Amino acid sequence: MIRSVLFGFLATIMLHAHINEAVLYDFEARCMVCHDTYKQNDKAPPLVAINQVYLKLHDQNHTVARAKIKAFLNEPTHQKALMKPAIKLYGLMPKIALDENQTSDFAEVLIETEFEIPKWFDKHYKLHKLKKPHDENISK
């Protein structure tokens, strides 16, 4: 089951962005443990929400959105966080040890991937009384 989900995730990313397969496996191992789009959890916001919020807040400017994600990954603070409601729901993301390449690569994956919107996504927003960044996936 996990292999098929990972394969689907990797296939989707590889179709929409030219990202090294090793980077994708590292991203899956380091980020998707908490940030999952395919399974609702209480650890962290889903990947699709991160993608939508960062792109929406920066008027679809991928360069600026990537830079903001990199800054947050380098030093996750309340001041650098753009997803304040997520902090209330899940807490502030702990700092994880990433080198400069990983930080850049992970920001690239988060911004350049067109994530599939899960069936539970609307319910998640309604349950937590969150304002959706957009009614559809705005990730490309």
For residue 80, the model assigns a pLDDT of 93
Q: Domain limits of the chain?
A: 2-127
Helices vs. strands in the chain: H and E counts, helices first: 7, 0
Stronger pLDDT, 88 or 117, i.e. the higher one: 88
Structure tokens at 17: 């962005």
Q: pLDDT tens, 13-70?
A: 444 456 888 998 999 999 988 987 777 778 998 898 899 889 888 888 999 999 999 9
For residue 132, the model assigns a pLDDT of 66
For residue 8, the model assigns a pLDDT of 53
What architecture is domain 2-127?
A: Orthogonal Bundle (1.10)
Q: pLDDT tens, 83-109?
A: 988 899 899 999 999 999 999 999 999
Task: Print burial letters for 87-113: b (CB count within 10 Å at least 16), e (below 16).
Answer: eeebeebeeeebeeebbbbbbbbbbbb
